[in-house]
Amino acid sequence: MRKLFSVLFALMISLSNTIIAYAMPQEAQDIEVKSSNLTQDCEYIDILIQLSVDDSDYTAYNEANMKQCSFDTKELSEFRDDDGYISFSCHFKDNYTRMRIKTQEYGGQTVSLNNYVLKDDTYTRMWKATDRMEKLHELNPKFKVAVLDKNGSIIQTSEPFELENDSGYLWGYVNYDVQNNKVTLEWEKTMTTKQVRRRELLIIAAIVFVFVVLPTTIVFKIRKKRRTK
């Protein structure tokens, strides 16, 4: 009997986790740009954000983060394009980013992985700042990828992108082809209508099994045991 209750409890936990995973959208826990087709003159990758100076997350200059740069950051800190985009690395409060391009082999390509939502500025440790990502999901601003040369001048920017849209949430890399100036996002995988219905039927069946069939079986076994005695 104790084994049966253990199995029932395990099934209930497993089922609750499945329902939570099904109900909750899978959102990216950071913003990581994977750049490929790197050009000779690009030294840094930053992202630009549409952020008002009146916003509580705005800072005039994120000094702790900008210490990573070997160039004069004045030009970047004063940059604002015609659409109102400013440097995320310079102006998002209490945030660390990795801007410098460091190439590595990834999936048969030479790429640079640069992260923009970190708690720590140490390059050997990556702390994802999930509280900041929650804030960014609340704000849901638009971003652009920006390519900087060795002097910190922005030499090109991408088309705008968002963390979420009608089809779901960003869940993987922001893939950026530098040479072709093209952004491709990895969105949360959406299910077809048939897949959704199949999943719903499986969940209903699991609920019926755990909360109806198993308890009935337990009661039946208890009664049978008492009659035998």
**Strand 182-187 vs strand 32-36: parallel, antiparallel, or unpaired?**
unpaired
Residue type, 118: L
Residue 167 has what pLDDT?
A: 67
Residue 73, classified by CB atoms within 10 Å of its CB into exposed (0-12), middle (13-18) or buried (19+), is buried
Residue 197 domain boundaries: 2-23+191-228
118 shares its domain with 71: yes
Residue 20 has what pLDDT?
A: 43
Q: How far is Cα 30 from Cα 222, in angstroms, rounded to an integer? A: 52
Residue 221 has what pLDDT?
A: 73
CA distances to 37, 88, 154, 160 from 76, in Å: 24, 10, 8, 18
142 shares its domain with 203: no
213 shares its domain with 157: no
The continuous run of DSSP H or E covering 45 comes out as: strand 44-50
CB-based contacts of 186, cutoff 8 Å, min separation 6: 170, 171, 172, 173, 174, 175
115 shares its domain with 209: no
3-state secondary structure of 38: coil
103 shares its domain with 52: yes
The continuous run of DSSP H or E covering 11 comes out as: helix 2-23
Q: How far is Cα 19 from Cα 105, in angstroms, rounded to an integer? A: 38
CB-based contacts of 111, cutoff 8 Å, min separation 6: 34, 35, 36, 38, 103, 104, 105
CB burial readout 25-61, b (16+ within 10 A) else e: eebbebbbbbbbebeeebbbbbbbbbbeeeeebebee
Q: How far is Cα 97 from Cα 30, in angstroms, rounded to an integer? A: 11
Cβ 56 vs Cβ 148: under 8 Å: no
Residue 42 has what pLDDT?
A: 96
Residue 17, classified by CB atoms within 10 Å of its CB into exposed (0-12), middle (13-18) or buried (19+), is exposed
65 shares its domain with 108: yes
39 shares its domain with 82: yes
14 shares its domain with 121: no
Residue 84 has what pLDDT?
A: 95
Name the pTM for this structure.
Answer: 0.72
Cβ 100 vs Cβ 43: under 8 Å: yes
Give the residue ranges of the chain where pLDDT is below 50.
4-5, 17-24, 190-192
Residue 147 has what pLDDT?
A: 98
6 shares its domain with 57: no
Q: Which parts of 57-141 fold into alpha helices (H)?
A: 63-66, 74-77, 88-91, 130-139
57 shares its domain with 140: yes
150 shares its domain with 204: no
Query: Per the structure block, which two tokens stand in for 81?
Result: 């394009």
124 shares its domain with 181: yes
Q: What's the domain count of the chain? A: 2
